[in-house]
Amino acid sequence: MDTLPTIVMLLGASVVSVIVFRSVNLPPVLGYLLVGTVIGPHAFDLVGGVTGMQHLAEFGVVFLMFSIGLEFSLPKLYAMKRIVFGLGLLQVLASIAVVTALVTALGLSWQEGVALGGALAMSST
């Protein structure tokens, strides 16, 4: 598929998704993610030549991070510090505990379980 029609299709679908998602009071970023998932190679595969779209995907990640940064509020984070940091710590510890239990059940050492659990916890947060 040519690049220009692909970009037009992605932008058109993104505009429609933003309109729909805002009408039901959901953030537009969810619409962008849905459009990328549906149009991408893992659903309807409307975008051919995925390797050629790699640069657009990287720009999409940059813009996603930028939009998250725009919505990020330090005062709001500070007001929710007990919930955010408490539940975050709980999630990390629970991930380490569950993975350590699974790894030791498979016959590996608990140190390997802690390392794998920590890696999983960091990749999921």
Domain boundaries, the chain: 3-72, 75-124
Please check whether residue 17 is in contact with residue 28, taking contact to mean a CB–CB distance below 8 angstroms. yes
CA gap 103, 85 in Å, rounded:
27
The tokens describing 18, both together, are 């933003």
pLDDT at residue number 90: 93
pLDDT at residue number 125: 53
pTM: 0.50
pLDDT at residue number 120: 92
CA gap 122, 125 in Å, rounded:
5
pLDDT at residue number 1: 54
pLDDT at residue number 33: 85
Name the packing angle between helices 110-124 and 81-105 (round to 10°): 140
Please check whether residue 121 is in contact with residue 100, taking contact to mean a CB–CB distance below 8 angstroms. no
Q: What is the mean pLDDT of each successive set of 10 residues along the chain, which is 125 residues long?
A: 77 92 90 85 73 74 84 84 87 95 95 94 77
